[in-house]
Structure 1
Amino acid sequence: MSQLSFFSADLTPPRVEDLGGLLAGHGQISAGPDGARLSILLGQEWRAKALVREFRVRDVSAEVLPAAEALSGGLLDPAEDGTDGGVLLRSERSSALTELARAWTRGAVKSVPPGLSAGAGLLRCWTLAAGRHDDAGFLLGLDRHAPDTYEPLASVCARAGLAGALIGARGGGPALRIVGHRRHERLVELLGTPPPEAPAGAFPLPDH
């Protein structure tokens, strides 16, 4: 068994800023007088269970609702993809998330914070929210409603040793595709141990 890196998500202290990984994907955040709320529609329930844990270790409560229930209750936009299945994960409205909302928005538009770094915690949350394998490598999903975030997020990953190729909807995206043994091992090193809910093969593992 390889030794864990000091930069692994297993060893780095959790920070609220790490939840920005959901916003690197297709998550949304809204701010109000009572604090901010972070939410994301997920196609697989295991992702929601794993992310609830990531919220909890950062002292933020979150709940999981069937997408159909969220839609009927007015908690989900009918235009969102996948409302016929999946789940809605949403945090409590919390002042702890206010700075995250401020960092990731410009007006009402999602924007990558200046100076963002792809730390282990952020990458883990991003992978849990929108990461998956394909035939060519590993995809970190992007928000189809926020194309201006693609290039900045690609640059953030490149600085972390995870240079990838941006792919569009025809290629299975929008997503950042990470390929190559060295980059794969770097990703594995940063992400840490797969969550127990993850199906076999869903989370990056060391090559053997």
Structure 2
Amino acid sequence: MSLSGLGDTGAAQPPVPALFPAPDPPASVPAESSAGAVAADALAGAAGRGRRRSGSVRPGSAHSGTPDDEDAGRQLVFFGAEAAEPTVADLAGLLAGPGEVVRMGGTARLSVRVDAAWRVHVLVAELALRGLAASWEPTEDGKHTVRTSYTRVLKPLAAAWLHGAVKRPPAVLHLTGRRLRLWVAAAGTPEPPGGFLLGLGEGDPDSWDALGAALAAAGLSATLLAPAEGGPAYRITGRRRLTRLAELVGDPPAAAPPKLWPTRP
């Protein structure tokens, strides 16, 4: 079921492989464009300045944080979600979580399975902001799969993250605010009384340590939870780290329940 009228156009972000491991330069965020009734609602939330509308879809080894990483993290508000223009490179945040990318010829397609309708709205909007058509469908276990069309625009992303058919982070991965925002939108969950979980791909255990290192480099040192402990996920705790996460990902999209989005303690 398509939620976006946007196609694979030349206006999409250029496929520059170097963008994927490197942080994006700061720039102003362009005004969003409308892409159908449902996508328009979600786009308003993704851009953080649209009107709220009422028609939401309602389908039925470990890394521990240390105080030292907070000083490094303070430098990274410069790369917060509001500091840079949306680019296809940001989709690395989905692949850091449960997202998958596959290649076909000179094209690639990204997909991610999510557990709530609000995530569908937010992700379709975020993909539309980057010139990518997206569709969604329910899964047998009551979740939803969001996927793009096959497009040449995603080929560099696939090249950076795939080793053969296996998903693995690039050797150098910077988790900027926009990338973290997408990770939170796809698989972020608050953990009372004072934690936040970032879900990981269940079939990607060889990637988990590298992602933990990338979180630590962003000032968000976290503890890896195994599947038997409620994961796979990284648990972020501590007032300073939770504040850092909230600063980096920005305000919640309109479609996201505020209580489920990172907030300053």
TM interval, shorter chain, is: 0.7 to 0.9
Partners of 1:34 and 1:62 lie apart in 2 by: 19
**Cα distance in structure 1, aligned partners of 2:113 and 2:126:** 16
Matched, 1:93 2:150: yes
From 113, 116, 120, the equivalent of 1:41 is: 113
Sequence identity percentage: 41
SS at match of 1:201: helix
* Structural RMSD (CA): 1.2
Cα distance, 1:199 vs structure 2: 1.6
Gaps of 5+ in 2: 1-76
Indicate the residue corresponding to 1:70 in structure 2. Answer: none
- Give me the whole-angstrom Cα distance separating, in 2, the residues matched to 1:84 and 1:187: 30
1:107 counterpart residue number: 164
Instruction: Please say which structure displays the higher CA radius of gyration.
Output: 2
Give the deviation of 1:35 after TM superposition.
1.0
Q: Which runs of 4+ in 1 moved over 3 A?
A: none
Aligned to 1:13: 85
Task: Find the aligned partners of 1:25 and 1:150 in 2 and give their Cα distance.
Answer: 10
Residue 161 in 1 paired to residue 233 in 2? no
TM-score using structure 1 length: 0.87
How far apart are 1:28 and its partner, in Å?
Answer: 1.0
CA distance in 1, matches of 2:161, 2:184: 18
CA contact (8 A) 1:8 1:120 kept: yes
Partner in structure 2 of residue 140 of structure 1: 198
Rounded to whole Å, the distance in 1 between the matches of 2:172 and 2:189 is 26
SS of the residue 1:197 aligns to: coil
Offset at residue 203 of structure 1 (A): 0.4
Given candidates 42, 57, 61, the residue that maps to 2:129 is 57
Paired residues for 1:188-203 under 5 Å:
188-203=246-261
Deviations 1:1-21 (Å, cap 9, x if unpaired)? xxxx54321231112111111
| Unaligned runs of at least 5 residues, structure 1 | 68-82
What one-letter code is carried by the residue in structure 2 that aligns with 1:206? R
Q: Structure 1 counterpart of 2:197, which letter?
A: L
